[in-house]
Structure 1
């Protein structure tokens, strides 16, 4: 397995896990905004779990894809304003 694939998979897993730790719903509980935020967070958590499963199966390509998709859900939620995320740092593109 190429070392760069392993390094990138490790980096994207950490990035997704760290981003999930900081992202929060932007709206009040029970509002459509908060519900959309929870859906984004749930999708990201699911992709993190999937990526970890693929990693256990030594399938780094699908693990990397899962971590990337999960982070995409968080970035999208932040860009459309349903997630509150840090404006500084390397976790988000907003």
Structure 2
């Protein structure tokens, strides 16, 4: 079981993650959506496409743009469609 933890809370938990460039991408339904807030941030990866972000809100503590996903990934990255990855201090436990 892989878990994403931040501010003492399990944000995501799944046995079905996809590893890409050293990051675990969790199925969207394995992520506790109550901790996710929409963000306007986007970035572009040459082979994955345009990423969108969520800010984490756990116990009133905000972690800006700490979760990202590719709503419409390019074909080489199709395995991460509908999946979310984390960074910025989010601990991943395997």
- TM-score normalised to structure 2 length: 0.30
- TM-score normalised to structure 1 length: 0.30
Q: Which has the higher contact order (CA 8 A, sep 6+)?
A: 1
Q: Is the radius of gyration larger for structure 1 or structure 2?
A: 1
Please state which structure has a larger fraction of its residues in helix. 1
Please state which structure has a larger fraction of its residues in strand. 2
